[in-house]
Structure 1
Amino acid sequence: MGGPQAREKEKWLADVVEQHFAQNSGLHQDEVENFIADILDNEFDTIIEDGSLAQLSALICKHHEMCREGREQEVLESLSQRIPQTRTFAMPMPGEYDSDDETEIMEHINSTVSTQMNGLHLNGDISNTTQRRDEPNEDGWTVVKHGKKK
């Protein structure tokens, strides 16, 4: 889902979900969940099976209702407390550098990536060796299995 156009993809997805709410009144959490799941599957070849999509959809519906009631400030406060800031990294492309020297281009790319990675922190070690499917492994990554849509 990342890549050079990651920010554009994020904005597009947010716009599509916003438009879906504008065109359909009284949406339920399961309808929003199915809508987003279809987009992720069809546009990004991604299937979410860890329950986070249901949580996200419920939160979106709750916040949408709060906004309709004029409680936008509460929504902003809720978002700042619940959702950690995420970073989207743009992979520098060789054409973005003003040199024909391949070594200089690679140094520029490596430098840019290193700069972007400096602020990252891995999750702490996980001592429990028996993990549920939705818990991060020892590297801090959560494994999301890709499967056929039913």
Structure 2
Amino acid sequence: MSEIFLDDLGTLIAEPPNKTLLPFPTDQQDANFELGVSMIIHGWYTLTTAVDNLWGGPQSAEKRDWISGVVVDEFLNNQEIDIIYIHELLCGVMEDEFDTVIEDQSTIPVAQKIINCYKQCQDQQFDDIKAMYSKWLAKQQQNTQKIVANIVNDPLNPDVSDDDEDENEGDDDVEMDYDTVELVQETRRKQEPVVDEDGFTIVSNKKGGR
């Protein structure tokens, strides 16, 4: 893994007399920080890919939620945390739980966002967290609509309109085939010579008379 260089480690240090970074003075700050961490973790593309492909097994989605809890617990148990600390924590969890070695350094921006989230909650600024949550809710609703749409359009469970459309399409095909057959039969009748009772071929004139 390549070495990480940061101009600002974003170091957080608990203010005396606090021994750890959490809890905050108010429940609202704590709740928003936990929500913010969860939204940041859910927005991490690399982890989303791992969850969608079940790299962590059938419980991949549950492991993602668990990671959010692990990060929050580190703030409850430590007096000092920086970006590199969270980066190494996330890399270790991904390797242990998803058998994935992070090589794209995507853990760095995730760690930066978590540090910023803490600072915002410390200042009781919750707008960004609310925006992330609203975006996540909208995405969940969109995914639900897609699932419903797929069920409605499932070829194994067609609706009435699909049946009607299929029937109409079938009729068009039949009519097209029928017209083609009639045309071929008519052409063949015109091309076949007409023979009288004595065995002589009757030649028709251009006007259609004998």
TM-score (norm 1): 0.49
Which of the pair has the greater relative contact order for Cα pairs under 8 Å at 6+ separation? Answer: 1
* TM-score normalized with structure 2 length: 0.37
> Which structure's CA Rg is the greater one?
2
More helix by percentage: 2
